[in-house]
Structure 1
Amino acid sequence: MTTVPEILVDRAWEEGVRHFFGLPSSGVLLHVLEAGRRRGVEFVSTAHESSAVIAAAYNGYFSGSAGLAIGIQGPGAGNMVSGAVNVKFERKPVVCVCECPAAGDFGNWGQQADHPGLFKSTAGACLRIKPQAAAQTVHDAFRIASGTRLGPVLLELPRNLGTSVADPDVVAVATPGLPEPAPDKVEALCNAVASFQRPVIIAGDDVRQEGLTTALVELADTLQAVVLVTMDGRGVFPEIHPRFGCVYIGTAPPHTLYRSFLEEADGVLVIGADGRMKEARWDSDVPVCELVTCPKFAALSDAPQWRVDGRLRPTVERLFQRQSREGFPISRIAELRTAAAPRFARPPVAQFAVQDVIAITREQLPVDGLLFAETGVFQSMLEHLWPVVVPDTFFGSTVGRTMGLTIPALLGAKLACPLRPMVGFTTDGSALMRLGELEVFSRVGVVAPLIVMNDGALGTIQAQQRFQGLPSYGLQLQRVDFASIARTLGLNGVVVETPEEYAVALRQSWDAQSATLIDCRIDPQAYCDSFMPTTGIRPSMDSLESSS
């Protein structure tokens, strides 16, 4: 006879999960731990439940499944929500198992909270396990989390079901495939694209998911288009190709590179993206055609003139029969990129700059190695200075622009792929949010370099504060000795103050026996000054405009 906790762990095993994360209670979740021990699904306790959710989501993603995280009722569930919000934005799959009261024990006392109410705007579903349908509910939770758009699912586990026998029956529900595009709409969209003289293509991650990355390169050449990629679509088009333009952010500042391309375009073709992958409302009046995989997804451009829903391939293949009569000249693409390059250039007066860290890391990390990053002054730089040529290798924060993402994401991914080279970029402010998880790196033996950009401040917010003409206030941090903290927790810890020292430390980290935290003492002023230009703002001009 199989118990409810065993049903949960067995499903995780069948999905390919070999680790689960969280903080247990003294009740039913201890039975989940025991079921994991017996099944060979290793439990990894984390310092905080939000870290557990993020680590589990990335672990699941790299295992080809939804990850599994556990937490106690009430405060634990509340902490899990913050992790769930992060992975919702980053589109990573996770089942969040929260202990909850028994069916007849709900009331206004103790640690009880409205878990579905906490998760309702974040989770793809909020489910509760009952013994008579346990296997089916658990199966459904994993299926929903791994659906067309990956994300979190809440699965409540009543605290009295630790030894309860579960119904093992599951009725498998076939996952519906993507719909076929309507032929008349395909024809109308293709005719519209054929009329574009200077086309821009904006490509999202659905291009990779449908196996169309090679076709996208051929289509760009056929249409003579410039190609932009969304934040989740890094590498779907080779970013060293002469027809690559930039990463499309969809942000408000007026001088972003993507705006330069749109201003010179007479038509936009969006392929495999949706309305979530932009930071602000679409505000270009260029005609737009969109290929969207699912009818329920919002369009990237809000209201495209032509939209085709369904599988991308039939429409892409039809577009090969069209050819632009003029095209976006490769020479002009290069000119616009060159004009934007000074905004990302290394500050000449800096002894050690974030641009040094990016260049050296890109040189040492194999092209198929993984980079994990989060918000920080370096984020926009990575979108221009870190060319991605292999899809699904760049994992910076997308629309979440999240602090505290890198450390748990790197932890989960490395446990799933221990032999794959990977590196994490974080900042001092973000690292302080996740210091407790460094002990987990040491305890479970995760080996990967973790790079901390240490400028002694919340640099991006400080730059915004200055840009808005406000006095410097409340955003300075102590220059924390992260390397010493890492060594105290059993990791390698190195302080570097020059590019040369960083190159040596990073090279040594690849062959180390434990994770290496490299505490990069970058020049604070140069770091802060770099931020606003990289976002598409010219401080000397735009600050005057914003105050008028």
Structure 2
Amino acid sequence: MINDTVAATIVRYLRHFGIDTAFGIPGLYNMPLFDALRKSDMHVVTVRHEQGAAFMADGYARATGRPAAVVTLPGCGVLNAMTGLSEAYADSSPVLLLSTQVAKAHIDNDGGLLHELTGQFDVVDAVMKHSERLYAAGGTVAVCERAFQALAAGRPRPVQIELPLDVQDELVTAPESGGVRWDDRPRTELSSEAATELERALKAVAAAERPLVIAGGGVVTAAAAAELTTFAERLGAPVLTTGMGVGSIPGDHPLACGVSWIAAADVTGLVATADAVVAIGTRFNQGMTAEWGLALPETTLRIDVDAAEIERNIPTRYRVVGDAKLALAAALGHLNRSGVDRAGKPDEAMAAAQRAYVEAQHRRVGSTRPWFDALRGALPDDAVIAADMSLFWADMLGSFPVAAPRQVLFPWGMGTLGFGVPAAIGAKIGVGARSVVSIAGDGAFQFTGAELGTAVQQRLALPFVVANNNAYGMIKMQQLGKYGADIAVDLPAPDFVALATAYGAHGVRVERPEELAIALKDAFVADGPTVIEVPWGTSFARPE
């Protein structure tokens, strides 16, 4: 047993659980916690804005598959972080929020304290899987254990421990370490009913002539890409991924269809050709399903770890709650017993529909193709892309090939601007020597571009590609397409190269794709971050 402050005990338990990195800004109400962090071996990253802290923790979690911590001040501090926390919630990222509070006696009294926010706990809880306030030192162990269990079990999402200022300094006698560890987290087993339902569904799927697999983020979370790929090969089923499922099957695999996204290509023809669909770990959200307009075949099997999610959006005949890796292992066992092995060869009609969809995605790349090729050629096979909402990346994302999961990070859930810069920083801190690149438009970069200072301070060899069209380009394109005119979308951009220099980073402006490839390769081995500005033209016509 160790007698120490609550703050020090929590930090010790974080390390035992498997969290080694915290993002945040110190201040009056979290000073005890930051002092405990100072005395630990945690990697503490000082950000320029709490929104950046939340996006960095999200990027770290997506790229590594491990949780990180965000430490906020009450009121303005935690509200600043809410956009990033909302994105982590929407896209199922394991982020631990240590949200500090005013002293216990003043919580929710609206007394006019610095940073006070009446109702703060409930405001933040709206984007949390689990929230708990630590009222007294004696509850430290139990509160931490429940928080860690919530992080580790089932669908990953942010978890909050709220810490009043005075409680952080209280003394507590507690075991040296907790009982829950991230690396030992349990998988959601299939119940006997779920196993029976899976067998029923697989008999119908195996009998189908034109099966299609849809792979979502649940496949990535479960580390089930290998099982997914083998399952698709045995069925002879093309694989369509959601945005969060990118990399579930290698991008150059013959069965890979690319991404289902409303702005990439029309997926309805591909799905309509299928006489069976197996959807694994996907929310069936608006952008992935042609605004919920997909006509799924009667034989549709949905597998998801979240019992609530599996009932949402599009009804399906077969529904199995369980971990994707365990469910796919069971499915492969069924195919083995049934002797089903189509050796990766889809039905002719399905293969034609796959080719048509892939070709439509490549047409969407259009004039961006030389930049697409330069970017892919400059990136190592294991590189991570943290991309923001931008026309530059929107042209590419449907068909940009990646080799494995966790290599493309994008704000699919909230669609917020400002994700790419801090998410890339978090990812780079998490993956270390591997190459990471941020891609953003000029508008998105200006949301969180101040975090360039964080990248400089952390000495990260990290390129930030800024596609500059002096506008909120995607919105301008939509306005012009709908109304024939635009408003409030033009942005006189700063000199991004000069801005980079002012921060102590490198800066370069490129005019041609081959220059981008050279600049990226230089940036990956530089002694700090590099801003690469790409002048991106003034055409805002909607792609055909």
- TM-score, with structure 1 as normaliser: 0.88
For 1:396 and 1:95, locate their aligned partners in 2 and report how far apart those are by CA, in whole Å. Answer: 20
- Residue identity opposite 1:267 in structure 2: A
Match of 1:315 among 331, 334, 338: 331
Give 1:519-538 correspondences, 5 Å limit.
Answer: 519-525=533-539, 528-529=540-541, 532-533=542-543, 538=544
Distance 1:10 1:460, change over 3 A: same
Give 1:78-117 correspondences, 5 Å limit.
Answer: 78-106=79-107, 107-108=109-110, 109-110=112-113, 111-113=115-117, 114-117=119-122
Q: CA deviation at 1:202?
A: 0.8
Question: Is the aligned partner of 1:266 residue 2:275?
Answer: yes
For 1:282 and 1:331, locate their aligned partners in 2 and report how far apart those are by CA, in whole Å. Answer: 22
SS in 1 for 2:283: coil
Deviation track 1:463-498 (CA, whole Å, cap 9, x = no partner) reads: 110111242211000132111101100000111122
- Residue identity opposite 1:512 in structure 2: A
Question: Is the aligned partner of 1:148 residue 2:160?
Answer: no
* Kept in 1: contact 2:305–2:321 (CA 8 A): yes
| Residue in 1 that maps onto 2:77 | 76
Question: Is the aligned partner of 1:409 residue 2:429?
Answer: no
For 1:91 and 1:493, locate their aligned partners in 2 and report how far apart those are by CA, in whole Å. Answer: 34
For 1:191 and 1:331, locate their aligned partners in 2 and report how far apart those are by CA, in whole Å. Answer: 22
SS in 1 for 2:166: coil
| Residue in 2 that maps onto 1:4 | 6
* Kept in 1: contact 2:214–2:278 (CA 8 A): yes
For 1:73 and 1:212, locate their aligned partners in 2 and report how far apart those are by CA, in whole Å. Answer: 39
For 1:363 and 1:134, locate their aligned partners in 2 and report how far apart those are by CA, in whole Å. Answer: 51
Distance 1:301 1:416, change over 3 A: same
For 1:38 and 1:499, locate their aligned partners in 2 and report how far apart those are by CA, in whole Å. Answer: 47
* Kept in 2: contact 1:199–1:225 (CA 8 A): yes
For 1:208 and 1:80, locate their aligned partners in 2 and report how far apart those are by CA, in whole Å. Answer: 25
Q: CA deviation at 1:139?
A: 3.4
For 2:170 and 2:440, locate their aligned partners in 1 and report how far apart those are by CA, in whole Å. Answer: 44
Give 1:23-422 correspondences, 5 Å limit.
Answer: 23-27=25-29, 29-60=30-61, 65-106=66-107, 107-108=109-110, 109-110=112-113, 111-113=115-117, 114-129=119-134, 130-169=136-175, 172=179, 177-181=187-191, 182=193, 183-249=195-261, 251=262, 256-275=265-284, 278-279=287-288, 280-287=291-298, 288-299=300-311, 302-310=314-322, 311-312=326-327, 313-320=329-336, 321=338, 323=340, 327-329=346-348, 331-333=351-353, 335-337=355-357, 339-341=359-361, 343-347=363-367, 354-422=368-436
Query: Identity of counterpart residues, as a percentage?
Result: 22
* Kept in 1: contact 2:62–2:406 (CA 8 A): no
* Kept in 2: contact 1:369–1:422 (CA 8 A): yes
Deviation track 1:71-105 (CA, whole Å, cap 9, x = no partner) reads: 21111121121221011123222122222122222
Q: CA deviation at 1:301?
A: 6.2
For 1:380 and 1:374, locate their aligned partners in 2 and report how far apart those are by CA, in whole Å. Answer: 9
| Residue in 1 that maps onto 2:17 | 15
* Kept in 2: contact 1:257–1:337 (CA 8 A): yes
Q: CA RMSD in A?
A: 2.6
Distance 1:216 1:77, change over 3 A: closer
Distance 1:222 1:277, change over 3 A: farther
* Kept in 2: contact 1:423–1:451 (CA 8 A): yes
- Residue identity opposite 1:281 in structure 2: W
Q: CA deviation at 1:519?
A: 0.8
Question: Is the aligned partner of 1:471 residue 2:485?
Answer: yes
For 1:286 and 1:389, locate their aligned partners in 2 and report how far apart those are by CA, in whole Å. Answer: 30
For 2:205 and 2:121, locate their aligned partners in 1 and report how far apart those are by CA, in whole Å. Answer: 45
Decide which moves more: 481-490 or 407-416.
Answer: 407-416
Deviation track 1:261-314 (CA, whole Å, cap 9, x = no partner) reads: 112222212133334585532531422222233433325762111222223121
Distance 1:36 1:341, change over 3 A: closer
* Kept in 2: contact 1:189–1:308 (CA 8 A): no
* Kept in 1: contact 2:390–2:473 (CA 8 A): yes
Distance 1:211 1:511, change over 3 A: closer
Q: CA deviation at 1:167?
A: 3.9
- Residue identity opposite 2:510 in structure 1: V
- Residue identity opposite 2:330 in structure 1: P
For 1:135 and 1:61, locate their aligned partners in 2 and report how far apart those are by CA, in whole Å. Answer: 28
Q: CA deviation at 1:147?
A: 3.3
For 1:498 and 1:61, locate their aligned partners in 2 and report how far apart those are by CA, in whole Å. Answer: 31
Q: CA deviation at 1:227?
A: 1.3
* Kept in 2: contact 1:88–1:122 (CA 8 A): yes
For 2:60 and 2:397, locate their aligned partners in 1 and report how far apart those are by CA, in whole Å. Answer: 24
Decide which moves more: 472-481 or 486-495.
Answer: 472-481
SS in 2 for 1:468: helix
Deviation track 1:243-274 (CA, whole Å, cap 9, x = no partner) reads: 2222123x4x7x93422211222221213333
SS in 2 for 1:104: helix
Distance 1:462 1:372, change over 3 A: same
* Kept in 2: contact 1:462–1:472 (CA 8 A): yes
For 2:129 and 2:504, locate their aligned partners in 1 and report how far apart those are by CA, in whole Å. Answer: 38
For 1:104 and 1:344, locate their aligned partners in 2 and report how far apart those are by CA, in whole Å. Answer: 58
- The runs of 5 or more residues in structure 1 that have no matched partner are 348-353, 539-548
Distance 1:373 1:445, change over 3 A: same
Q: CA deviation at 1:323?
A: 4.3
Deviation track 1:151-182 (CA, whole Å, cap 9, x = no partner) reads: 21222111113431024247746965313253
Distance 1:161 1:482, change over 3 A: same
For 2:362 and 2:422, locate their aligned partners in 1 and report how far apart those are by CA, in whole Å. Answer: 34
Q: CA deviation at 1:23?
A: 1.8
* Kept in 1: contact 2:233–2:341 (CA 8 A): no
SS in 1 for 2:277: strand
Q: CA deviation at 1:372?
A: 0.9
Decide which moves more: 3-12 or 314-323.
Answer: 314-323
- Residue identity opposite 2:6 in structure 1: V
Question: Is the aligned partner of 1:459 residue 2:482?
Answer: no
- The runs of 5 or more residues in structure 2 that have no matched partner are none
Decide which moves more: 176-185 or 126-135.
Answer: 176-185
Q: CA deviation at 1:425?
A: 0.7
SS in 2 for 1:346: helix
Distance 1:342 1:207, change over 3 A: closer
- TM-score, with structure 2 as normaliser: 0.88
SS in 2 for 1:466: helix
Q: CA deviation at 1:453?
A: 0.8
Distance 1:471 1:42, change over 3 A: same
SS in 1 for 2:310: coil
